[in-house]
Amino acid sequence: MSNMNEKIDISKRKFIKGAVATIMTLPLLSTIEISPEVEKKEVKKRWAMFIDVSKCYGCMACVVACAAENNVPIGVFRTWVERHVLPSGSVVFVPKQCNHCDNPPCVKPCPTGATFKTKDGLVLVDPEKCIGCGACIVSCPYGARYFNPLTGAADKCTFCSHRIYNGRLPACVEACPTRARVFGDLNDPNSEIRKLVDKIPTKVLKPQTGAEPEIYYFALPEEASK
Ligand code: SF4
Ligand code: SF4
Ligand code: SF4
């Protein structure tokens, strides 16, 4: 979890172990939730997250809350917090997870349509359609995906769809003691996230990929964006 390369390597190792678990045909344990609203034509939401790196002190409450909320297996992560030492010697903590990209590189390579984007901007995985080929895992430029041996499917952050479609915040947002994470609907002009993103200069991770991430960082150091 200390840097991205290590995390990607861990994901790959877990993928191989997970493939063995698939052969053992473990039962599917989780389901995804898609809002009834997204099945209708008039969907106006655009879910996104704002992360203020200057408010994160690396307490890991978000990581623990996410793992507990989503039954994340030991050794893999839906969200993680990187520690970066800047040339000045100061230390910054940068929370990361799936960016629910607007142009997600993980969707097209999926041969079964298991990975898909909802009309309100979530990128989700249907475990019942996933054959565990790993194409989406290697296609994600952010190392955000892992193989879940409990479900036999690729897995990652869902922005806690089961919570947000019931009017609750994602577990990581609720757990953060400093409000470093703000979640909401970017299409709502009155939402806190819309006002923050309009007012404060933000950056996304690896903009050069063209993935168009939907996590907006304030005070993101260059070192953490690579
Ligand atoms: Fe897909 Fe990775 Fe973007 Fe998430 S961060 S939507 S897994 S490409
Ligand atoms: Fe984990 Fe939910 Fe936060 Fe995603 S939104 S990182 S699944 S707690
Ligand atoms: Fe940072 Fe908040 Fe996560 Fe703690 S809970 S590591 S302060 S984002």
CA of 89 to the centre of ligand 1 (A): 31
Please report the pLDDT score of residue 22 as a whole number: 37
Token pair, residue 71, equals 């039954």
Q: Where exactly are the structural domains of the chain?
A: 4-30+44-221
pLDDT at residue 112 is higher than 90: yes
Please report the pLDDT score of residue 184 as a whole number: 98
Instruction: Please state, in angstroms and as integers, the Cα–Cα distance from residue 135 to each residue in 23, 47, 68, 111, 145, following that order.
Output: 18, 25, 27, 8, 10
Residue-wise pLDDT tens digits, 177-196: 999 999 999 999 999 999 99
Nearest CA to ligand 3 atom 4: 59
Range 39-59 burial, b when 16+ CB lie within 10 A, else e: eeeeeebbbbbbbbbebbeee
Choosing from 63, 84, 178 the residue with most ligand 3 atoms within 8 A of its CB, the one to mutate for a pocket test is: 178
What residues contact 223, with CB distance under 8 A and at least 6 apart? 84, 86
Nearest CA to ligand 2 atom 5: 159
Please check whether the domain covering 4-30+44-221 is classified as CATH 1.20.1740.10: no
CA dist., res. 93 & res. 54, Å (int): 8
Q: Is the CB of 78 under 6 A from ligand 2?
A: yes
CB 87 within 8 A of CB 109: no
CA dist., res. 55 & res. 194, Å (int): 19
Closest by CA to 15, choosing from 123, 143, 158, is 143
Please report the pLDDT score of residue 226 as a whole number: 77
Range 138-152 burial, b when 16+ CB lie within 10 A, else e: bbbbbbbbbbbbbbb
What residues contact 17, with CB distance under 8 A and at least 6 apart? 147, 149
Mean pLDDT of 211-215: 98
CB 154 within 8 A of CB 126: no
Q: What are phi and psi of 15, to 5 degrees?
A: -65, -45
pLDDT at residue 161 is higher than 50: yes
Residue-wise pLDDT tens digits, 116-127: 999 999 999 999
The rounded mean pLDDT for the chain is: 87
Residue-wise pLDDT tens digits, 25-72: 333 344 566 655 555 545 589 999 999 999 999 999 999 999 999 999
Please report the pLDDT score of residue 191 as a whole number: 98
CA of 218 to the centre of ligand 3 (A): 14
Choosing from 1, 56, 83 the residue with most ligand 3 atoms within 8 A of its CB, the one to mutate for a pocket test is: 56
The atom of ligand 3 lying closest to the CA of 79 is: 3
Q: What is the pTM of this model?
A: 0.84
